[in-house]
């Protein structure tokens, strides 16, 4: 007679493993695909992002083509980032009525009314200096003077037809400023998906190539969170909920599974995790080199994020997962 635990009994066959698996498989509707839309006179503009193989800066025409393929494969939600033709010190392109994201939103919503179009609300892609807020002469990112610009940006996305706005700037009080502005302009129904828990992460490196938004000087550590902090994540989450956020994002995702879990246990709103550019690029690079089974690692990385407690995931793999039939 054996007295030890026989964990292998439930692992013997695929149906037994499936029956006893704790984390449900990923669904198409859990995935949000980010796209980079570039302001270009050439609608067919399509520039590969070297540090993110398989991802591109797209002109409006190319965006439409790529989204069409993804929607046909089952994609239900997109997250838009804009790359303006001109950057300045007030991020004018971020809240221009005919800015690149505003144009993209109108285009996508006209063709696919049911597609969920989420916009990233931030100023860094539109700032000549690459910071997420207005800069003081000494280089400090100013908090309160930045809030009206963020609110204007979110409102302009709403007016273009965005379904959800997602502020990613990490200025204090921005959810309240955006919520108030939306409510004052007949957008009380529009949800705010707040990047509440956003770390100052080196994993954003490839994104900054993609969006041409690396800070020209300094870093983002005075507004994004210190990677050593876990309790602070709960304060940030609560603060954003108090200000009126409808759902929260934790970012990055993979290396912050403990944070996803901790936030999941403390809040009762939908929780999104963002598998960021660096997480994507590392898996792709190792895959391209033949060092890992890329498809398996991609699925495992997302399963880990879901197991940690995320309800939905922003991932650059979304389109390829759907097109390969790995998620439906």
Q: Is 80 in the site for Zn ion (CB under 5 A)?
A: no
Interatomic CA distance for residues 122 and 154, integer angstroms? 9
Kindly state the tokens that stand for 302.
Answer: 């997302």
251 is catalytic: yes
From candidates 63, 75, 276, 298, binder to ligand PBG by CB under 6 A: 276
Entry field: residues in the chain: 328
From the list ligand PBG, Zn ion, none, partner contacted by residue 276 (C-beta under 5 to 8 A by kind): ligand PBG
> Nearest residue to ligand PBG, using CB?
207
Q: Tell me the sheet residues that pair with 189.
A: none
Residues 123-162 touching Zn ion, rule: CB under 5 A, are 124, 132
Q: Which of 126, 207, 223, 317 binds ligand PBG (CB under 6 A)?
A: 207
By the 8 A CB rule, do 59 and 46 touch? yes
Q: Which of 163, 159, 147 is nearest to 185 (CA)?
A: 159
The Cβ of residue 8 has, within 10 Å, a number of other Cβ atoms equal to 7
> What is the nearest approach in angstroms of Zn ion to the Cβ of residue 131?
7
**Strand pairing category for 271-275 and 247-251:** parallel
Q: Assess whether 198 carries a catalytic annotation.
A: yes
For residue 57, state whether it binds ligand PBG (rule: CB under 6 A): no
Given the complex with Zn ion, which of 121 and 237 has the nearer CB atom?
121
* Least Cβ distance, residue 207 to Zn ion (angstroms): 10
Taking the complex as a whole, the smallest distance from the CB of residue 84 to ligand PBG amounts, in Å, to: 14
Question: Do the Cβ atoms of 6 and 300 come closer than 8 Å?
Answer: no
- Window of 74-82, 121-129, 201-209, 233-241 that interacts with Zn ion by CB under 5 A: 121-129
Q: Per CB under 6 A, does 120 bind ligand PBG?
A: yes
> For ligand PBG, which stretch binds (CB under 6 A), given 20-28, 116-124, 180-188, 226-234?
116-124
What totals of helices (H) and strands (E) does the chain contain, helices first? 11, 10
Q: Percent helix, strand, coil in the chain (nearest 5)? A: 45, 20, 40
- The structure tokens listed for 7 are 């964990």
Among 65, 109, 221, 251, the active-site one is: 251
Residue 120 contact partner, candidates ligand PBG, Zn ion, none, CB within 5 to 8 A by sort of partner: ligand PBG
- Residue 122 is a binding residue for ligand PBG (CB under 6 A): yes
Distance of alpha carbon 309 from alpha carbon 139, whole angstroms: 38
Considering the rule CB under 6 A, would residue 260 count as an interface residue with ligand PBG? no
């Amino acid at each position: 007679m054996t007295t030890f635990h026989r964990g292998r009994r439930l692992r013997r066959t695929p149906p037994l493993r499936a029956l006893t698996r704790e984390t449900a498989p990923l669904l198409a509707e859990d995935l949000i695909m980010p796209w980079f839309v570039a302001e270009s006179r050439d609608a067919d503009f399509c520039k590969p992002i070297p540090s993110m193989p398989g991802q591109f800066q797209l002109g409006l025409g190319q965006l439409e083509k790529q989204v069409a393929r993804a929607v046909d494969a089952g994609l239900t939600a997109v997250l838009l980032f804009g790359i303006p033709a001109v950057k300045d010190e007030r991020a004018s392109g971020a809240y221009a009525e005919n800015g690149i994201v505003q144009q993209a939103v109108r285009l996508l919503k006209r063709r696919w009314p049911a597609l969920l179009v989420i916009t990233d609300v931030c100023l860094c892609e539109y700032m000549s200096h690459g910071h997420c807020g207005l800069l003081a002469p000494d280089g400090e990112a100013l908090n309160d003077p930045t809030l009206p610009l963020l609110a204007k940006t979110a409102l302009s996305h709403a007016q273009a037809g965005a379904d959800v706005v997602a502020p990613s700037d990490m200025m204090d009080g921005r959810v309240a400023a955006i919520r108030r502005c939306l409510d004052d302009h007949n957008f009380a129904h529009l949800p705010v998906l707040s990047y509440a828990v956003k770390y100052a992460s080196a994993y954003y490196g490839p994104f900054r190539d993609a969006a041409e938004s690396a800070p020209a000087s300094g870093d983002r550590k005075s507004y994004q969170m210190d990677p050593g902090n876990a309790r602070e994540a709960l304060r940030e989450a609560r603060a954003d909920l108090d200000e009126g956020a409808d759902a929260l994002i934790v970012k990055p995702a993979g290396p912050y599974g403990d944070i996803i879990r901790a936030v999941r246990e403390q809040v009762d709103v939908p929780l999104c995790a963002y598998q960021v550019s660096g997480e994507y690029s590392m898996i792709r690079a190792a895959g391209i080199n033949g060092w890992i089974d890329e498809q398996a690692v991609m699925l495992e990385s997302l399963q880990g994020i879901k197991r940690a407690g995320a309800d939905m995931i922003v991932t650059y793999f979304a389109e390829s997962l759907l097109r390969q039939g790995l998620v439906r």
